[in-house]
Structures are given as C-alpha cells and as structure tokens.
Amino acid sequence: MATASKDHNFLVQLLQSAREGDTVALEKTVQEYLKYQPAETTVSQLLSRFRDKKKRSAIHLACQSPRKTHGSDDNKDIVEFIVENSEWFPDEESLVTLVKQKDVNGFTPLMLAARHPDPLLAHQRVSCLLSHFPTLALARSKAGATALHYAAAAPTAPLPQTIQSLHTAAKVATHTFSTNGGGTPLHWACSIKREKNDEDLLTIEALLQCGALVNAHEWKDKEESIYAVPPPILVAVAAKNETACQRLLQCDDIDLNVAIGGDNTLLHLLVKSNMTLSLVTTLQKLRSDKEICLSALEKKNSADLNPMEMAANEGRIDCVRLLMGALNNENVSDDEATAYIQQHKSKRHELDQNAETRSSSASSATMPKLPRPIIDFEVQAQEQALSILSETKNISETNIHEALNRKKRGNQHFGKKEWQEAYDCYTEAMQYNPSEATFYSNRSSCLWNLGRLEEALEDAFICRTLRPDWSKACYRLAVARLSLGYCQEAAMAAWEGLQLDPNNKELKTLLQQCIVQGRERFRTTKGTAIK
C-alpha cells in the first residue's frame, strides 16, 4: 500500500513539474524517488513507465509546457534539459525509446512541440529534438499525420524555420497525404483561419517554399467530381480563408479548372462564400485566355446556374459587378449590377410561374434549387420526395391536426431518448401529412440514434428535397453523410446550410467537424499516400 501511494505521489509530481516546464522541480522529484528504488533503476525507465491517462509521458507534457525561468544563468528549457541530460541517459538507445513513445492518439513529443502556441518556444524544442533524432519527423499519428501537418495547423503560426526544419528532416513531408484522407500539410494550413491574416500567409508561404504541391488532390469519383482529398484552394474556400486563397492564386501552376459536388466550380464557390478579393484575383488569371474565361463564366452547376446567375440569386452586388465586367476587364457600376439582379430575379420568377402552371407540384418554383443526390441511395430518396410533392394534394385540416398530435407525442418520446417510440410516432404523422419536412428531419435523427445510418440519410435527403431552403435540412443531411464516412459530401451539405443561415453556430461547428474528421478519422485514400 505504501509503495502504491509513493508511486502515485511521484506520478502526480513528475507530470505536474513537466506540465509546468519546471526543470528544478522535475529533477528534484526524480532524484527523491530514486532514493527508494533498486540501484539498477534508471531515469529512462521511470520516465517511460509513468504516464497519464492519455499515455503521455513527462517529455510529452514538457513539449507542451510554457517557458519557465529560475533567475539563474543556466535557464535551460525543460525539453533541452531532458534530451541533453547525459546523467539520466548515458546511452542514446534509452533516450530514443522515450522520445519515440506515442500517446493514445499516436502523438509523439515532436508533434506536440510543433503545435505549441508560442512559435519561438516551438522552434527551440523542435530544433532540439530534430538535432538529436531527425527521423522523428517521419513518425505518423493515428490520423496518419506528421509533425509538419500539426505545425501547419497550429493555433499560432509556426516560424518559417520550424517548417523548414521539419520538411528537411522528413524530406517529403510537404507532399505527404495523411493516411486518413486529410491531405498534405498545405491542406491543413488552408483548413484553419487564424485571427491574424499575416499568420496564415506566413505558414502558406513557408510550405510553398518547401515545395508543397499547390494542386495536390486525390479522387474518390472523378466522373462525379467527388474528391477523397480536394485541392488546397477548395479547402481554403470552404474555410473562407481569404488569405490562403489569395496566396495560392499567385502560384503560376494553380489549377483553376476545379469543381466539387453539384458541379460547383471555383467561381461558384467564391460567389457562394462572397470572397470578392479572391474572385478578383481568379478573374484576372482567367482573362489571360478569353476562351477559357468565357467557358468558366458560362459553366452551369447542377442547379442550372452559372456563377453570375448564382451571384444574382444571392443578391451579391459586388460579385455580379465583377463577373459582368470580367471578360473585357470593364468597370461595371453598382446600378448596372443591381439592374441585372432585378432582371435575373424577374426572369426566374417568370420561369417559376410557368413551371407552376405546367405542374401541380407545389415545389415546382424551387426545383432548380433541389439538392443533387451524390450517393446512390440518395437518388431513390429524392425520387420518393418528388413523388410526394407531385401526388400530395390539399391536405385537410383534420389530417394536419392528427399529424401534429403524433408529432407532439414523438417529441415527448424524443426528449426521453426513446428513439424507437419517437420513430413510430413520426412515421404515423407522415401517413396523415407526408409532405411535412420536419417529420422526416425528426425521424432521421431517431434513425441516427438507433444506428440505422443509411435510413437516416434517406430521410435527411427527403427532408432536404421537400424543403430546399431550410438550413436544418442541410444540418440533418450533413450529420447523416458524416456518420457514413462521406466527409466531403457532409461538408458540402453543411456549407450549403451556412449559405441559407450564415450565423448558424451548429452548422459552423459541424462544418469544422467534417473537415477535422475528413483528415483525422476516416480512411478515404486509395493507397496512394506515402507511408
């Protein structure tokens, strides 16, 4: 019992001193504990043996610790103190074992040092570790990422020297895809948006100077424009990282002929995100070849809208003005852009009215906005939804009342997490009013909680089709797709939801989750990643 208590106290003091970066306390704790251990016990054995619940050793925590000074001339950083302590590690082999240890997420001490919020301290510790063990830069986490990946996406931009050091040690890391579909370090850098724009630029610039491939991507289905890993420029647009977009667009070899689910080209996506600075730069590059520029301006997405029509639909005057004058680099006034928007909306309204006359479907006017099915069983779901819209006539007040009563009971079961009972109630509600999107939304959530993920996706897509302009439908669709591993498609659904409701915190969080899971949790590459 006494030994167990002593071990516990040592563990607490050891990890606390490492976490605080306190070399004096660390050394004192280790020396005090060694007094009660067999003579053959080494410091290497102690540091390797004692770890926290995340399997992080003292050197893991030391790499994350703040800088601590003691008022003496010998203010050696704690990582340097451990790595260069010849008394603790008389032979290199014992130290190698320690610094190669991984925590539950596969993080090495070097990875944690690389993402330290203090860029100067991060560089000091990364340099120290690499000077002794350069091959550490090749190690992979469970997500398949290297230390350079984590440096590129650190909360505070790393020093260019840090990126250069990690690249030099790993040799090919700037080209390396993380094995779980997360892309290269450049992808990771583009997927975040720091508070200070110059920090994003610093990181992107450093990676490009190290030879990062500006068009790096992997296809999942090339014919359908479905990426396993999209090009960095599309990742930057999804994250609304204008700084990253601007820098990538300066590259001579940047490929502007890219598109994502729904046949949305780079111009479509820039319009959707209202990224006018990047739109200006993109149009400037496209104008170098008028034929290519004209083709890009006329390219329609699955909603039958070219970029300027999409901009008009969104009421984005600046985007319309830029696109109207794009081909000949003409200056278009706000009044001219406004007139085009009004003309376009009037024309769309007329088309919608004609469509409504030709069809009894209540949703005919919104058909151009219907989501494009990306996954096979989404096609059947959309066909079912369209059938509901065309066949459902006027619903009686009695049926509406009965449907709402069953929805109310379903909500009560839902609140108690009685998923099957709630599912049954929502299903009954549909029998009275099959065209009500909220019933499918709620039932999709029940199915998701019951683990019936494909059915949850079908209901979510029906909901999205019944109410194309409802951000909650986009949320349900994104959740269902993400649960089945369709990370890019889920991100697209979340992104579409944000276009409908830009301030929706749930959708913002979900979009980030799609990006993170796409790079860290789901194995979507086809074996082309460098291991």
Looking at the structure of the chain, the number of domains it has is: 2
Residue 116 lies in a domain: no
CA pseudo-torsion sign 51, 55, 60, 65: negative
Structure tokens that stand for 1 in this block:
């019992």
Q: On the CB side of 225, how many CA atoms lie within 13 Å of its CA?
A: 16
Mean pLDDT along residues 230-259: 94
Q: What mean pLDDT is predicted for residues 450-466?
A: 91
Q: What is the pLDDT of residues 37-65, one digit of tens each?
A: 888 888 888 998 999 999 999 999 999 99
- Average of pLDDT values for 412-423? 93
pLDDT at 257 over 80: yes
Domain region containing 377: 372-520
Is residue 352 scored above 80 in pLDDT?
A: no
Encoded tokens for 529: 């990643």
CA torsion through residues 487, 492, 496, 502, sign: positive
The predicted-structure confidence for 512-523, as pLDDT tens digits, reads as follows 888 877 776 544
- Is a pLDDT exceeding 80 seen at residue 151? yes
Residue 248 lies in a domain: no
Q: How far is CA 65 from CA 213, 302, 381, 469, 505, in A?
A: 33, 51, 52, 48, 32
Q: Does residue 497 belong to any structural domain of this protein?
A: yes
Reply yes or no on whether the pLDDT at 369 is more than 50: yes
- Is 361's pLDDT higher than 60? no
- The answer to whether 434 touches 467, Cβ cutoff 8 Å, is no
Q: What is the pLDDT of residue 528?
A: 39
Q: What is the pLDDT, as a whole number, of residue 280?
A: 96
> Residue 488's closest CA among 262, 229, 257, 241?
229
Of the pLDDT bands very low, low, confident and very high (cuts 50, 70, 90), residue 484 is confident
Q: Which of 216-220, 238-242, 346-350, 485-489 is the least confident region?
A: 346-350
CB atoms within 10 A of CB 261: 24
Indicate which CATH number applies to the domain containing 477.
1.25.40.10
Among 104, 129, 156, which residue terminates a domain?
A: 104
Q: Following DSSP, what letter does each residue of 134-159 receive, concatenated?
A: GGGGG---TTS--HHHHHHT-SSPPP
Say yes or no to pLDDT of 155 above 80: yes
Residue length of the chain:
531
- Does residue 109 fall inside a structural domain? no
DSSP helix/strand/coil, 522 = coil
| Alpha carbons 219 and 72: distance in angstroms, whole number | 57
| pLDDT computed for residue 74 by the predictor | 57
Q: What is the pLDDT of residues 69-95, one digit of tens each?
A: 655 545 689 999 999 998 898 888 889
- How do the residues of the chain divide into helix, strand and coil, expressed in percent and rounded to 5? 60, 5, 35
The pLDDT of residue 514: 85
> Of 170, 198, 200, whose CA–CA distance to 188 is shortest?
200
Q: For the chain, give the mean pLDDT.
A: 86
Residue 299: φ, ψ to 5°: -60, 125
| pLDDT exceeds cutoff 90 at 251 | yes
- Which among 104, 129, 162 is the end of a domain? 104
Question: Residue 375: which pLDDT band, with cuts at 50, 70 and 90?
Answer: low
Assess if residue 207 is contained within a domain.
no
Q: Residue 130: inside a domain, yes or no?
A: no
Alpha carbon distance 403, 376 (integer Å): 30
CB 162 within 8 A of CB 152: no
Please check whether residue 50 is in contact with residue 58, taking contact to mean a CB–CB distance below 8 angstroms: yes
Q: How much of the chain, in percent, has pLDDT values that exceed 70?
A: 89
How many Å from the N-terminal Cα to the C-terminal Cα in the chain?
A: 46
Say yes or no to pLDDT of 407 above 90.
Answer: yes
Closest CA to 113 of 146, 144, 86, 68: 146
Domain boundary at 72, 104, 136, which? 104
Instruction: Look up residue 229 and give its DSSP letter.
Output: E
Dihedral of CA atoms 430, 431, 435, 436 in degrees, nearest 10, equals -30
* Residue 485 backbone dihedrals phi, psi, to 5 degrees: 90, 5
pLDDT at 106 exceeding the cut of 90? yes
170 domain residue, yes or no = no
Asked whether residue 169 is domain-assigned, the answer is no
pLDDT given for residue 301 in this prediction: 85
Task: Give strand ranges (E) for 233-345.
Answer: 259-260, 264-265
Burial of 420 (0-12, 13-18, 19+ CB in 10 A): exposed
39-43, 442-446, 476-480, 515-519: which range is least confident on average? Answer: 515-519
Number of CB atoms found within 10 A of residue 176's CB:
23
